[in-house]
Every structure is written in structure tokens, then in C-alpha cells.
Amino acid sequence: MKMQLTEVAGAVGAKNEISDEPVDISSVSFDSRQLTTGSLFVPIVAENDGHDYIQSAIDNGATATLWDVNHQETMPMKIPVILVDDTLKAYQDLAKYYLNKINPKVVAVTGSNGKTTTKDMITEILSQQYNVCKTEANFNNHLGVPMTLLSIEPNTEIVVVEMGMDHPGELDFLSRIAQPDVAVITMIGEAHIEFFGTRDKIADAKMEIVNGLKEDGLLVYNADEPLLRERVATIKQRSFGFGHGESSDLSVSNVVGNQVMTSFKVREMPDVNFTIPMIGTYNVDNAMAAISVGRHYRVSPDNIVKALSDFDLTKNRTEWLKGHLGEAILSDVYNSNPTAAKAVIKAFSNSDVEGNRIVVLGDMLELGDQSSDMHLSLADSFDNQKIQSVYLYGDQIDSLATSLKSKYDDKHIHYYRLDQKEAMTQDLLEARTKNDAILIKGSHGVHLETVLSDLQSH
């Protein structure tokens, strides 16, 4: 980034005059710890008031700062200040202004599951032929999306933006900031159903991504989902469906997997063999979304194959690791919902293993009044001939524990409350062998990454 402070002031509708002396801005951040020389500091008023960290921002190199008009009594004197009515809105306005200034193509990705993996796949495919910027990690909310847009380099041709939501209206807002040329919906699941009540309402909220989609834009969506097919039929923009059905615009076939990779073909590209370094048909679906975007931007089949075969996956998504004894660990500890859990349990059940398959599941959060039933719905995913032992952890997963007692004896079904993580970890350490395979999955809020760390270090 390279902008003059006067340009920033104009973009955010500043309330004060900026000095005629030129001030160069090279980056923008709301985290005072992440600033460098040339940074514009944006103090956000939230649980912690960013205005209280202005000295830290100055110490770390802030060249100027936005400042809320209601905090003028603590306004710093050491650096230029841009007064605004609302620093968060100004930050978002600046991101939209800068996006329009650089004017890259925008690909926006959302979905109840798989959006980060799909974002990574799309980025890898497009990077074969374009200069591409993407959302780092999963910074996909009202703060993270502007951060992505403000990090765009002047030579960026395409920016891939992940968009999350847990309440109605959020995707509408993010989509109107990013104004995508292509919008992608990976799937509709039960994530955040506590705030929506039904999958129909989740589908309505996901479709908000179309609200900012350009008139000549394209919506790429999972055509296997009836809730999406119904809603896509009503939009004005073009649409392109991927899936397993023959009626899809891009349809998958010949899916074959093992413990570390999955290969597949696409009926519309019969001479091309695709491979991804991941397991599960749900990851094939993510790849199909990415292939759809790649084809839209005329990336060659050879480059798509190359990109998918060895792309850089964001940490803590489904990945095989080694434990301290040499046991195989399938780690998926970032998040969980019923659709995702069922898919990964199915894939894990068919993985190669010399010893036993062990599943460690934590609570799935934000399921509201349906939590007990949705945890219970996982019971059909367990086959005691394929999964020999189950460790369940949390205060909401007890319904599943009770149900699985009909499939497992007391030696092979284990249930632990939230205050019993240490006991569960110790039991796992004592029970596992070097020949076993262990799946660990749960919502981020139950922090099963600590169990993973112990299995790797002890």
C-alpha cells in the first residue's frame, strides 16, 4: 500500500484538516502490536477500547491514527490525527475505497463448512496464472475482510476473500464492501444454527453474498443442495453449480481415496485426472468449487491439476500428523458441526490402519436448542467394526455417549465432562499404540488442540 494521509482523510470523510506536509501511509492495522513505520493505526471501540493503546501504536511505528470524535480529550499530539465519527466505519470505508483504487477482480467465498480450504484451493489455482492475494488464516468478519482488502498490493489482479457469518445481515454487509465478481457458496450445514433456527434461514443468510455481487458477476454454488438450487433460481446474476449429480454444470466422478490423498475426475473434463492431498468427498466438493472458479478465469487444466496436487492448506484443517509413538493422527480441531463431523468420521472409517481406529470428539457449539439432537445424529456414523474406541468430551455431547452404549461396551466408549480433559488425555496416552489411528475433532471453543499437543509430545 502507498497512500497520502490527505487521501486517507478524504476516503473516510474526516472531520479535521490534515497538514499540507505530505505523510505517506504504507499499511493499516487495528492491532497496535502489528504496526510498523508508516502504519495508520485504527483504534476500534470494542470490549477493549483501541484508543487506550495509542502509546503502544506510536512505539511500534504508527505514522498517523484515526480517532473517534468522542475521544478528543485523549487525542495524541505526537502524530497526525484524522478525526472521524466512527473509527470502525472509517476503517471499512477506507478498505472499500482502496479496493476500488487498485481494482482487482474479487472472489468471495462463504459456506457452513469448507470455506477456508476452498479459499486456499482457489488461491493456489489462480496463482498459477495471476497475481493473487487472499484472506490470511480465517480473518473473515467485519474486521478481517477490510484487513484483507487493505493488504492488497498494487499489482494484485485477483483477491480471494473469505466471508464468515453467524447472524443475519453479516454477509450482506461484507459483500457490499467487497463487491465480488465471483461469489462461492461451498455448502449449507448447521453451523451457527443457534442464531438461525433452521437450515432454510441459514441458506437465506448465505445467499446474502449475492447482494454485493456485480450485475455481471457469477455465483458458484453447491448444486447438490436443494435449498441453494431454489434460491439461485431467483437471482439476476449468472450461476454455475458443482456437485455429484449429472445435472450440475460441473460434476464429479470416479472418486478414489486412501489415507493421505483423494483422486477424482470431472465428467466435463474426461481426460483430466485430479488429485488432492486430503481425504474425504467433502474436500472433493471444495476442490470442485475451486475448479469452477479456475475455469471461469481460464486457468489451464494442467495448471489446475498442478495447483490442487500440492496446495498450501491453512493450519488446523483436516491433516494427518504423527503422534509421539508414531501413531497416525487425523487432526481437525479448528471447528465442528454435524455435517462436517459426519463427513470426516466417514472418511476416517475407511482409512488404512494396522491397529485400531480411535475417535476423539468434542462438543459442537452454537447449536442452540437442537444441540442434543444434533449430537445424537452422529450415532449412525459409528461402525464398531471400523472404529474400535470412542472418546467423547464436553457438556453437550452426552446424548451421543448414551446412544453409543448400544454399540460399544464400557471399555470402548468413554465420556468426559469439560472439567475432565486431563483425565481423557491421560487415558488416551495409556490406551494408544504406535499402530493406531486417532481422529480428533471438535469446535474450537473446547480446545482439543491441547490433546493433540500432548499426543505429539508424550
DSSP per-residue string spanning 53-105? GHHHHHHTTEEEEEEEGGGGGG--SSS-EEEES-HHHHHHHHHHHHHHHH--E
To 10 degrees, what angle do helices 281-296 and 301-309 make?
Answer: 140
What's the CA gap between 180 and 135, in Å, rounded? 14
What's the CA gap between 444 and 105, in Å, rounded? 32
C-alpha cell recorded at residue 337: 458441526
Q: What is the pLDDT of residue 310?
A: 83
Q: What is the pLDDT of residue 246?
A: 84
What's the CA gap between 21 and 424, in Å, rounded? 63
Name the one residue in this structure whose C-alpha cell is 442452540: 368
Q: Where are the domains of the chain?
A: 3-85, 104-309, 319-457
From the list 313, 314, 312, 294, the residue with the least C-alpha distance to 304 is 294
113 is in an annotated binding site: yes
Cα–Cα distances (Å) from 385 to 102, 258, 349, 408, 435, in that order, read 57, 18, 9, 10, 17
Pick the CATH number of 3-85 from 3.40.50.300, 1.10.10.10, 3.40.1390.10, 3.40.50.10240: 3.40.1390.10
CB 221 within 8 A of CB 213: no
CB 273 within 8 A of CB 306: no
Q: Which CATH class is domain 319-457?
A: alpha beta
In degrees and rounded to multiples of 5, residue 163 shows phi and psi of -130, 120
Parallel/antiparallel/unpaired status of strands 62-68 and 132-134: unpaired
339 is in an annotated binding site: no
What's the CA gap between 32 and 178, in Å, rounded? 25
pLDDT tens over the chain, length 458 residues: 899 999 999 999 998 877 667 899 999 999 999 999 999 999 999 889 999 999 999 999 999 999 999 999 999 999 999 999 999 999 999 999 999 999 999 999 999 888 999 999 999 999 999 999 999 987 999 999 999 999 999 999 999 999 999 889 999 999 999 999 999 999 988 766 777 778 899 999 999 999 999 999 999 999 999 999 999 999 999 999 999 988 899 999 999 987 778 999 999 999 999 999 888 888 999 999 999 999 999 999 999 999 999 887 766 567 889 999 999 999 988 788 888 899 899 989 988 899 999 999 999 998 888 899 999 999 999 999 999 999 999 999 999 999 999 999 999 999 999 999 999 999 999 999 999 999 999 998 999 999 999 999 99
111 is in an annotated binding site: yes
Q: What is the pLDDT of residue 199?
A: 87
115 is in an annotated binding site: yes
Cα 260 to chain center, whole Å?
21
What's the CA gap between 42 and 25, in Å, rounded? 13
Q: Which secondary structure element, helix H or strand E, spans residue 133, and what is its range?
A: strand 132-134
CB 202 within 8 A of CB 184: no
To 10 degrees, what angle do helices 301-309 and 115-126 make?
Answer: 130
Which CATH architecture best describes the domain 104-309? 3-Layer(aba) Sandwich (3.40)
